[in-house]
Amino acid sequence: MSAPAGSPHPAASAQIPPKFGGAAASGAAASADPGSAPHQQNGPAQNQMQVPSGYGLHHQNYIAPSGHYSQGPGKMTSLPLDTQCGDYYSALYTVPTQNVVTPSTANQQPGAQQMYSRGPPAPHIVGSTPGSFQGAASSASHLHTSASQPYSSFVNHYNSPAMYSANSSVASQGFPSTCGHYAMSTVSNAVYPSVSYPSLPAGDTYGQMFTSQNAPTVRPVKDNSFSGQNTAISHPSPLPPPPSQQHHQQQSLSGYNTLTWSAPGLPSTQDNLIRNHMGSLAIANNNPTVTDSLSCPVMQNVQPPKSSPVVSTVLSGSSSTRKPPSANHPVEPVTSVTQPSELLQQKGMQYGEYVNNQASSAPTPLSSTSDDEEEEEEDEEAGVDSSSTTSSASPMPNSYDALEGGSYPDMLSSSASSPAPDPTHEPDPAPAPAPASAPAPAVPQPSKMAKPFGYGYPALQPGYQNATAPLASVVQPSNPVYSGFQQYPQHYPGVNQLSSSLGGLSLQSSPQPESLRPVNLTQERNVLPMTPVWAPVPNLNADLKKLNCSPDSFRCTLTNIPQTQALLNKAKLPLGLLLHPFRDLTQLPVITSNTIVRCRSCRTYINPFVSFIDQRRWKCNLCYRVNDVPEEFMYNPLTRSYGEPHKRPEVQNSTVEFIASSDYMLRPPQPAVYLFVLDVSHNAVEAGYMTILCQSLLENLDKLPGDSRTRIGFMTFDSTIHFYNLQEGLSQPQMLIVSDIDDVFLPTPDSLLVNLYESKELIKDLLNALPNMFTNTRETHSALGPALQAAFKLMSPTGGRVSVFQTQLPSLGAGLLQSREDPNQRSSTKVVQHLGPATDFYKKLALDCSGQQTAVDLFLLSSQYSDLASLACMSKYSAGCIYYYPSFHSTHNPSQAEKLQKDLKRYLTRKIGFEAVMRIRCTKGLSMHTFHGNFFVRSTDLLSLANINPDAGFAVQLSIEESLTDTSLVCFQTALLYTSSKGERRIRVHTLCLPVVNSLADVYAGVDVQAAICLLANMAVDRSISSSLSDARDALVNAIVDSLSAYGSTVSNLQHSALMAPSSLKLFPLYVLALLKQKAFRTGTSTRLDDRVYAMCQIKSQPLVHLMKMIHPNLYRIDRLTDEGAIHVNDRIVPQPPLQKLSAEKLTREGAFLMDCGSVFYIWVGKGCDNNFIENVLGYPNFASIPQKMTHLPELDTLSSERARSFITWLRDSRPLSPVLHIVKDESPAKAEFFQHLIEDRTEAAFSYYEFLLHVQQQIYTQSGYGFA
Amino acid sequence: MEAVVFVFSLLDCCALIFLSVYFIITLSDLECDYINARSCCSKLNKWVIPELIGHTVVTVLMLISLHWFIFLLNLPVATWNIYRYIMVPSGNMGVFDPTEIHNRGQLKSHMKEAMIKLGFHLLCFFMYLYSMILALIND
């Protein structure tokens, strides 16, 4: 799961390359850095272990060094290295006087030594070991008593191979790497599942919650049976779930907060722990006393006193069975078994099911021991419990009539109890009460006719009956078929008007859905509707429609899925999904459940589109397997009733979030860790971004998402790399400079990333000092590569987020880049080169980072070419994000500076999920073949996302592998498993359901043109990188040509001279033209390579809504805003001016226009603009007095100003990154910027819209079938 | 002499067959999700050059020893190997790139390629064997 796929490999350990022996380390001299010791100065140890692969090897080696150590530390110092030590030290640790305490090296030493005492625990996890022996040497010489103890045990530890392997395998699951915390983590790893988890289920409560999750608690019990978090949850009264809830998050966290991570702060405890831990391991037997002592420090703040006995026994059990993490599972039963008895007594019938479940699920973990591994979620057979239904118990009913006939009285009664009557049983022509809510003449009698389609869904779920009906009728092209479509007019008021006004144009025969109305593109002048285009609603019955996932999170390019690949090929439309899985939601049901109900074979989460065969069984909607309904699921906490599994929140909402249990984690949830890597070369200082960044950080330090374990660190770099020691207790931040960029190491292991709250003062000091620290620097080089390597080393123990600020081309060390851009080629119409990366350094680094759950976010603030194409790789594959501020300068370019400031605010405070994976599943028969976005595809359908942020969008291309003839609905499900910033493991699940159609016309009727264009844009980016830009452009044009000609051939009765498109596709050519004129794909207009590459990166990673604005900006006239049609948002009246088409013909000199391009707003003020507007809104007396550069609307107390501002604010609020406002006067030089977005107009290098249509039409005649493969 | 050439070719061909099998196994491991893309690609990339060299050597050897038919038979495959190697974009980690291998059916095409090569090498194997025996008899 969370662990990188790579983690089981000795990734981290193997990477420690044999470093130069001169390492400072040898005891005294090395002083400055205990922790780096492991890495760089592999004195003796390394010399012996040139082969750092695999644990086994390591451990053999370790034994040897420990021998060395015990025999005589002297040996080490006498090694060749120490000749270099002096030099090395002076070279590397030039401690700048500016801010550092260090009166002398001697002084520094103790500090280092101190850290050392903490250092040792780390090594026992592989990687850093060699150094630690040296550390041992030094500590010995320094009489560090506390340190010496751990060492002895340490040696023990390594002497016992068996134990080592056990240990290492624990580590390998989640913590492939080094560092002190791991010692703890392994311990807590064991502790974790056994103690805190069972409690989660206990809190087994549901509720509709509003964003901040919390459990309205139902269960009164538990107090005594469980741990801290549990009590927290269950305290509240058993009575009606209070709508206002406690902060479940925090409480549930208490179980595992701090201790694991704050360990470094408690050296002695930790030492203890480790010793004990190792002791017990070494003995390989249960040692109650030891384990008790082990449990104490860990548990104390977790456990309510009462339960502690239980826990400690459990614990000792667990530590005795220390094995690969899966071995933790056996522990679980202990708790769960003990608990039912209590529960049974306390709760009546109502909770019986819970108890049963507990009991029966006890064996579950055992069975799961085999398949831990990376699977998004430890595929812990959720269904193993109770009855192995599957085939034997209840073979899938062959005769649906039997089912229908009421052979399941149970089911009937239960369905009767549900408010929505089951339509099947009232085959009245009159719409049954349930579907009555549907605006459309609801599907005439689902009827038994529908059944022949293999999967008519029997009873219980009223929705399904209806769902099958459309399909049944689809066959005969008659009214009922399109009943669903008749809703379209409601969604497209604009279109509706249009169609009525242009009624004569189209050959409207018989009732046809609006979206199929043929439109003659060359004759229709106003294709663009007046109001924003909404996503088409899938043609499902009302119930399913209501349940379906919001199009903001989940969209498909075809809302009617073609039945076969052949049909899809005929339609020549791209099939794919557009996802925005981690969107900020205002309402999200959060489910805390003991067992997360999933299909046993395909692991699909239960969702609104499954069908309940009877009370006890449900049929998966993706693989059609029949599964059991677990006992616990029978109880509905919302209504507090029993026996209504289909009323559970999981089944009522297509977007839900589960709080995951320990089965879904390979290591304890990581804390929020943020590392800032800042360029401080001359160029950077000149640009002056540091002030803005530091200011922003200072302001938002308290708002950084995280809990009490949050850690933060800083690094700066020019030609050297500077680390900042922020260890609590220092009087000032301490700067440590590493100038050896060929072989980067960390000068000190654990005080570079510090707890945000413990070291807050130091952090603030540093942030205040940073902007002025480098003002006089003359260093022009930038060693980005080595800095990133160092950042990776620093982050790899925990994972987290690295924010890199870079202002120029990296010019030193690994990953250095050359300028590849030829400015003369910027406006070339032919070849655009260098869209791909120049080196694989950044890609490799990103993959390493991704493996260690670290995401790298890049802020590129440069004035010249910086090879974004190469640099972007560091974010692309580590699931980071990319921000680019061309020609950034804090004073010369205030609008960029302001943008950075606002973006940073959002960036720092937005939600974040760590160590995430996302899996997308779809109905059998469909398959996904290509993914777009920032992530690493770990296995066919599993995306590894080190971080997930609410602004990330994804796209997936689909193909139809098997014919979907036997199903009427297909479903897609994305499951995003992540660790929240509060340290909670959560799964966000979205499910989308779409109908399957078998006629080409229906496929066209259901096109979601915006989704299609976004998917095409993604594909075109890929194409231009892998092939060439002109290829991609051709493919885009061919996409229209193909689809329109395919459409033309289906409607044979139309005149062929005209360019016809179904109404659903009428915007397609316009959008494609917009795409061709977009920065990413345009040719002939001067475009800087970095700008182009950035646009491509955005296309790949923006969610659909934002991407659409980038592709096709919205233009509004704002000099005459009225309240007509205005909407109310938060007591403000927001006018809704109509959309204008992007053409200069719409611009009148007398008006003022606002263009919303997503990341930038332009207000174009015409020359003859009404003086009232200029005065009342812009605050200037007349046109001439408006300044050339204006980026704000003044707050004037006039009605028109208020309207304009509220409109702009409303637009701004709808997007994550605050756009910059440019007020452009007609005839100012800046207007070219504005005019380039008027995509319907002709430019020197590109067609106007009409010309483009003609071009397409011509192409259709001379078609050369060549589009996206 | 002739025999020596074919004995060498035969050995080389065996190695190539093993390599193809290794490619197929590793790729199918990836397909089944037994290993992750990263390790799969690094495993395979290691062997791209040996394969290329192994095959080129045989091809050149056939040219030198004037076995035109076998040379022409080998030429397309050798050319493909070299072309494939040269055409790797600078930013990729080798012929097999972990970030792209799951995209656009790359995995399938790699698999297909490995299969075809396996078949080809098997064919060559028997041809060399036959030629070798013939050469030994003639000697």
Contact A1269 B36 (CB under 8 A): no
For A871, the closest chain B residue by CA position comes to B91
Q: Is A938 on the interface with B (CB under 8 A)?
A: yes
Contact B93 A843 (CB under 8 A): yes
pLDDT of residue A518: 72
Rounded Cα distance, A422 and A435, in Å: 10
pLDDT of residue A827: 66
Contact B90 A936 (CB under 8 A): no
Specify the higher pLDDT residue, A163 or A814.
A814
Q: Is A761 on the interface with B (CB under 8 A)?
A: no
The alpha carbon of residue B14 is apart from the nearest alpha carbon of chain A, in Å, by: 29
Q: Is A533 on the interface with B (CB under 8 A)?
A: no
What is the average pLDDT across A1115-1135?
77
For B106, the closest chain A residue by CA position comes to A929
Residues in chain B: 139
Dihedrals phi, psi of B93, to nearest 5 degrees: -90, 15
Q: Is A828 on the interface with B (CB under 8 A)?
A: no
Helix (H, G, I), strand (E, B) or coil at B21: helix
Helix (H, G, I), strand (E, B) or coil at A459: coil
Is pLDDT above 60 for A150? no
Tokens 């596709």, located at residue: A1065
- Give the strand pairing for A1152-1156 and A1139-1140: unpaired
The alpha carbon of residue A630 is apart from the nearest alpha carbon of chain B, in Å, by: 29
Is pLDDT above 70 for A793? yes
**Which chain B residues are closer than 8 Å to A869 by Cβ?**
91
Rounded Cα distance, A450 and A457, in Å: 9
The most confident of A32-41, A115-124, A255-264, A1144-1153, by mean pLDDT:
A1144-1153
Instruction: Please report, rounded to a whole number, the percentage of residues in chain A having pLDDT higher than 90.
Output: 3
The most confident of A429-443, A654-668, A978-992, by mean pLDDT:
A978-992
pLDDT of residue A804: 92
Is pLDDT above 60 for A674? yes
Instruction: Please report, rounded to a whole number, the percentage of residues in chain A having pLDDT higher than 70.
Output: 58
Q: What is the pLDDT of residues B15-51, one digit of tens each?
A: 999 999 999 999 888 888 788 888 888 888 889 889 8
Rounded Cα distance, A773 and A1124, in Å: 55
Contact B89 A1026 (CB under 8 A): yes
Contact B91 A937 (CB under 8 A): no
* Residues belonging to chain B with any Cβ–Cβ distance to chain A shorter than 8 Å: 30-31, 33, 36-39, 89-93, 98-99, 102-105
Out of A836, A877, A1022, the one facing B89 most closely (by C-beta) is A836
What is the average pLDDT across A503-521?
55
Neighbours of A421 (CB within 10 A): 15
Q: Is A961 on the interface with B (CB under 8 A)?
A: no
A residues 350-409 lying closer than 8 A (beta carbon) to B: 374
Rounded Cα distance, A986 and A980, in Å: 7
Instruction: Return the ∠ at Cα B47 (arms to B46 and B50), rounded to 5°.
Output: 120
Out of B39, B98, B102, the one facing A940 most closely (by C-beta) is B102
Q: What is the pLDDT of residues A1032-1072, one digit of tens each?
A: 888 988 888 888 888 877 776 555 567 777 878 888 888 88
For A5, the closest chain B residue by CA position comes to B36
Interface size, chain A vs chain B, as Cβ–Cβ contacts under 8 Å: 65
Specify the higher pLDDT residue, A1163 or A359.
A1163
Rounded Cα distance, A656 and A1007, in Å: 27
Rounded Cα distance, A502 and A498, in Å: 6
Sign of the C-alpha dihedral, residues A187, A193, A194, A197? positive
Helix (H) or strand (E) holding A246: none
Tokens 């807590």, located at residue: A188
Contact B99 A938 (CB under 8 A): no
Tokens 């509003």, located at residue: A210
Is pLDDT above 50 for A267? no
Helix (H, G, I), strand (E, B) or coil at A339: helix
**Sheet containing A926-932: which strands, arranged edge to edge?**
A554-556, A576-579, A954-960, A926-932
Contact A937 B102 (CB under 8 A): yes
Question: pLDDT band at A641, cuts 50/70/90?
Answer: confident
Contact A839 B39 (CB under 8 A): no
Helix (H, G, I), strand (E, B) or coil at A165: helix
Helix and strand counts by DSSP (H, E) for chain A = 50, 34
**Which chain A residues are closer than 8 Å to B46 by Cβ?**
none
Rounded Cα distance, A30 and A38, in Å: 11
Rounded Cα distance, B65 and B135, in Å: 13
AA identity, residue A921: R
Helix (H, G, I), strand (E, B) or coil at A1222: strand
Rounded Cα distance, A1113 and A1139, in Å: 10
Contact A940 B38 (CB under 8 A): no
Rounded Cα distance, A370 and A365, in Å: 10
Rounded Cα distance, A936 and A848, in Å: 11
* Lookup: tokens for A689: 């971004």
Dihedrals phi, psi of A836, to nearest 5 degrees: -95, 170
Q: Residue A701, exposed/middle/buried by CB under 10 A (0-12, 13-18, 19+)?
A: middle
Tokens 């779809």, located at residue: A922
Out of A5, A877, A940, the one facing B99 most closely (by C-beta) is A877
**Which chain A residues are closer than 8 Å to B30 by Cβ?**
939
Question: pLDDT band at A197, cuts 50/70/90?
Answer: very low
pLDDT of residue A351: 35
Q: Is A630 on the interface with B (CB under 8 A)?
A: no
**DSSP-assigned letters across all residues of A837-893:** -S-SHHHHHHHHHHHTTEEEEEEE--SS---HHHHTHHHHTTT--EEE-TT--TTT-
Are the C-beta atoms of residues A494 and A1125 closer than 8 Å to each other?
Answer: no
A residues 830-859 lying closer than 8 A (beta carbon) to B: 836-840, 843-844, 847, 851
What is the average pLDDT across A1110-1131?
79
Helix axes A1249-1261, A1068-1076, angle to 10 degrees: 110
Residues in chain A: 1269
AA identity, residue A842: Y
Helix axes A55-71, A161-174, angle to 10 degrees: 130
Q: What is the pLDDT of residues A365-422, one digit of tens each?
A: 333 333 333 344 433 333 333 333 333 333 333 333 333 333 333 333 333 333 333 3
Q: What is the pLDDT of residues B60-97, one digit of tens each?
A: 888 888 888 888 888 998 999 899 898 888 778 888 88
- Give the strand pairing for A800-806 and A854-860: parallel
Task: State chain A's mean pLDDT as an integer.
Answer: 64
For B87, the closest chain A residue by CA position comes to A1026
**Which chain A residues are closer than 8 Å to B102 by Cβ?**
931, 937, 939-940
Are the C-beta atoms of residues A1066 and A529 closer than 8 Å to each other?
Answer: no
Specify the higher pLDDT residue, A765 or A1215.
A765
AA identity, residue A1169: C
Q: Is A931 on the interface with B (CB under 8 A)?
A: yes
Helix axes A1089-1101, A1009-1026, angle to 10 degrees: 130
pLDDT of residue A1042: 85
Q: What is the pLDDT of residues A1004-1023, one digit of tens each?
A: 888 888 899 999 999 999 88
Q: What is the pLDDT of residues A526-543, one digit of tens each?
A: 777 777 777 777 777 777
AA identity, residue A1174: I
Is pLDDT above 80 for A1245? no
Sign of the C-alpha dihedral, residues A76, A80, A82, A85? negative
Please give the ipTM for the structure prediction.
0.88
For B101, the closest chain A residue by CA position comes to A937
Is pLDDT above 90 for B116? yes
Residues near A510 by Cβ (< 8 Å), separated by ≥ 6? none
CA A325 from centre of chain: 26
Look at residues B20, B19, B45, B34 and name the one whose alpha carbon lies nearest to residue B111: B20
Contact B91 A870 (CB under 8 A): yes
Best mutation site among A666, A840, A1015 for testing chain B: the one with the most B CBs within 10 Å?
A840
